[in-house]
Amino acid sequence: MGRPPAEIKIEIQDLRQLGFTSLDVIQGIVFINVFQELSLCCIEIKLVGVSVTVLNYKISKDSDKISSKEEKHVLVNDSKILFPNKETSTLTPSKDYSLRPGAYEFQFQFKIPLNNSCLNLAPTRKKSSNSLFQLPKATSSEEFLQHEVNVLPPSLYNPDHYYHIHYYLEATIVRSSRLKSDILKSNFIKLAPFNDVDNVHKSAVLNYVRKGAVFRDKLPEIIAVFPKRKPVPQRTSPQRPSSPSNNGRLKSIFYRTPESTPPSTSPINQQEPFIIHAFDVPFYFEARSFGHLQTIGEPVDFKLYVLSSVLPSKYLGFGHESSGLGSIYLKKLRIDLLIKTNVRAHDLFHTEVKELTICSMKTQGKLDLAYAIKSKSVHERTGEALYELEIPPSLLEGCRVPRQLAPTFNTCNIKRSYKYFIEASFSETKDSKTLKKVNLTIPITLLGGIPPPLASESIPPSARLPSYDDALIEKTSV
């Protein structure tokens, strides 16, 4: 193959590091170098977004032969004619044009829509066989093709290649003759949706997830023992000697030998045994967040607590100091992000679940319920008061959600959702090797971190956004 008669380059202005978002304007220039005169119909540029899924299945139960089904949704399909322009087509009303050797520049501009438009697409007159953009062909499974109108999903790449969401600009020199291949160039762009305004309202509501545990038969760590006062000796009259016949018997009563002396019941000599009672120590492990929202690239946005329904004074000893009975020790903390992707290809469905460890650590943190403060939360069933201790937030400073993750989204054939799995391991003493594991699962909405525009069709003019003071109001919900 020789050199093509022309080559195309697409240059995007203001290429953002985080990518573009809905309602952004993409501006750029298409550079065309023509090496030899060529005939053409037009020069076109398109903004295209596709969501593609491919799932395999067995042809029959008794056969190992594998077939596959592909479902493609065209989320965005916007095009502009760069050449001929209105002036050229007016001066030279023709279906065929020619470009002489040289360098050409054409400016373009697109506004990214808010929602997908796969419901409104119609086939166009001609498509290049080399184009990335191909409209879905009608198949026998077309009845299963379901379209949904949603906010444009983020760019998504899957290394297994059975689902992806791509956005790209494609410039094409459409040749006049069908015998000659079109010349095209495609540039992928990254798209991430901005934070939905509905999530701003969710962020004003405090949510929690709580799970209980009990340390059985726990002993206090600190015990106060006070010696009894020595009693004042009392004078006793001398005993008369016994008669010879009863001498041995009376001697065993009044002049006791160590072998024959039973435990004394006298208040002077009695030493009562000291009994230490064991108690059950119930507690709750809880995670709190506003709206269960999390921004990619940011530290985990929740706080962890230990709560108790027992009055803190019950865990105090002599001098209002802690007895250690209410002391529990946080030994390990692990935070995982569960990534769930639901994929559909016509009548085939697949669910992929991956686990990503955000952080895992060993600690020696002591939490003493004797010093817990009264919580604004109450027991969800009984309504009784609860007392809380916050696990130091400094433990979570290094726990960040990776920036390369896609935000939560739902489109026609792919859905992505997230959950936190938090596991804490507690012990009842500092040196105990026996750990009690308590885990929490929190469904979250993962945000891209792009603030919503000040005015758009997603935010009606009458919408009331919460103020800073509103966001600090703690509204507890289960």
Per-residue model confidence as pLDDT tens digits over 328-358: 999 999 999 999 999 999 999 999 999 999 9
Q: Reply yes or no on whether the pLDDT at 308 is more than 50.
A: yes
Residue 383 lies in domain? 197-221+277-477
Q: What percent of the chain has pLDDT over 90?
A: 57
8 A C-beta contact, residue 112 and residue 75? no
Q: Reply yes or no on whether the pLDDT at 184 is more than 70.
A: yes
Same domain assignment for residues 171 and 293 = no
Residue 399 inside a domain? The answer is yes
- Cα separation, 368 vs 220, in Å, equals 12
Per-residue model confidence as pLDDT tens digits over 435-465: 999 999 999 999 998 888 764 444 444 444 4
Q: Taking the C-alpha atoms of 7, 161, 447 and 304 in order, what is their torsion angle to the nearest 10 degrees?
A: -150
Same domain assignment for residues 136 and 214 = no
Q: Reply yes or no on whether the pLDDT at 406 is more than 60.
A: yes
Q: Which of 282, 306, 326, 299 is nearest to 391 (CA)?
A: 306
Residue 243 inside a domain? The answer is no
* Cβ contacts of 1 within 8 Å, gap of 6 or more: none
pLDDT of residue 60: 83
* Residue where a domain terminates, one of 189, 213, 234: 189
Give me the long-range contacts of 209-212 (CB less than 8 A, separation at least 24): 209/286, 209/287, 209/440, 209/441, 209/442, 210/284, 210/285, 210/286, 210/287, 210/307, 210/380, 210/440, 211/284, 211/285, 211/286, 211/438, 211/439, 211/440, 212/282, 212/283, 212/284, 212/285
Under the banding of pLDDT at 50, 70 and 90, the label for residue 27 is: very high
Residue 214 inside a domain? The answer is yes
Strand 6-13: give its sheet, edge to edge: 6-13, 25-34, 102-111
Q: What percent of the chain has pLDDT over 70?
A: 74
Residue 457 inside a domain? The answer is yes
8 A C-beta contact, residue 348 and residue 68? no
Same domain assignment for residues 209 and 173 = no
Q: Reply yes or no on whether the pLDDT at 404 is more than 70.
A: yes
Residue 226 inside a domain? The answer is no
Under the banding of pLDDT at 50, 70 and 90, the label for residue 405 is: very high
Same domain assignment for residues 118 and 158 = yes
* Residue where a domain terminates, one of 137, 171, 189: 189
Residue 251 inside a domain? The answer is no
What is the domain-level CATH number for residue 175?
2.60.40.640
Same domain assignment for residues 363 and 334 = yes
316 DSSP assignment: B
- Cα separation, 209 vs 440, in Å, equals 7
- Give the chain's mean pLDDT: 81
Residue 53 inside a domain? The answer is yes
Per-residue model confidence as pLDDT tens digits over 30-85: 999 999 999 999 999 999 999 999 999 988 888 888 999 999 999 999 999 999 98
Q: State the total domains in the chain.
A: 2
Same domain assignment for residues 151 and 297 = no
Q: Which of 278, 274, 275 is nearest to 219 (CA)?
A: 278
pLDDT of residue 432: 92
Same domain assignment for residues 132 and 202 = no
Residue with tokens 């559909």: 344
Q: Which of 284, 297, 122 is nearest to 215 (CA)?
A: 284
Q: Reply yes or no on whether the pLDDT at 241 is more than 70.
A: no
Same domain assignment for residues 295 and 414 = yes
Under the banding of pLDDT at 50, 70 and 90, the label for residue 223 is: low
Under the banding of pLDDT at 50, 70 and 90, the label for residue 128 is: very low
pLDDT of residue 300: 96
Same domain assignment for residues 316 and 417 = yes
382 DSSP assignment: T
Same domain assignment for residues 98 and 202 = no
Distance from the Cα of residue 249 to its chain's centroid: 85
Same domain assignment for residues 171 and 311 = no
Q: Reply yes or no on whether the pLDDT at 23 is more than 50.
A: yes
Q: Reply yes or no on whether the pLDDT at 256 is more than 80.
A: no
Average pLDDT over residues 378-406: 93
Residue 263 inside a domain? The answer is no
pLDDT of residue 200: 64
Q: Reply yes or no on whether the pLDDT at 143 is more than 80.
A: no
Under the banding of pLDDT at 50, 70 and 90, the label for residue 234 is: low
Q: Which of 48, 41, 28, 38 is nearest to 7 (CA)?
A: 38
* Residue where a domain terminates, one of 169, 189, 209: 189
Q: Reply yes or no on whether the pLDDT at 267 is more than 90.
A: no
Q: Reply yes or no on whether the pLDDT at 364 is more than 70.
A: yes
Same domain assignment for residues 151 and 205 = no
